[in-house]
Amino acid sequence: MTRSEFDDIRAHIDAEADRPGDLLRVARSLLSDLEDARMREAMLRTEHLRLLTAARATAAAEAAGRANPLSYITEELARQGQLPATEVEVDQILLDVRTATTLLTQLEQAPAPVTTGGGPRVRRCAGTSRTLPR
């Protein structure tokens, strides 16, 4: 959920504080959203761990002089449906890598943003513009 969605929910709760049924529905909805987010995070962590393990196995196989050391990473990419199948996909991936590398280099060279810090947090959303199911 975005910050403004949380602000909308807070505003709704403040406006409807005397209606416990609405608050219960909001709480159930938030719990459901949190469970979904935790499940997505667990799946992403699992995929990351599998890719990291495959990358490490590839590097170790290459260091050990094994035949076809890339098999570990290509099998994992294929399992996740991320292995490029056509020349067009290969070209697009290589272009994306060059672009990402350029952007990351520029980001690392950019000066750190100036923060004022210490002041009160300004709320961006102050109204009940979003309606919740009743």
Q: pLDDT for 31-79, tens place per residue?
A: 888 899 999 999 999 999 999 999 999 999 999 999 999 999 999 999 9
Specify the pLDDT at position 131.
56
CB atoms within 10 A of CB 8: 20
Local confidence band at 123 (pLDDT 50, 70, 90 cut-offs): low
pLDDT > 90: percent of the chain: 55
Q: pLDDT for 74-121, tens place per residue?
A: 999 999 999 999 999 999 999 999 999 999 999 999 777 666 655 555
State both tokens at 20.
């416990």
The tally of CA atoms less than 13 A away on the side-chain side of residue 50 is: 13
Answer for the pair 75, 54: CB distance below 8 angstroms, yes or no: yes
- Of 22-26, 28-32, 36-40, 128-132, where does mean pLDDT reach its minimum? 128-132
pTM: 0.58
What is d(CA 50, CA 59) in angstroms, rounded to the nearest whole number?
A: 14
Can you spell out the DSSP letters for 68-82?
A: -TTHHHHHHHHHTT-
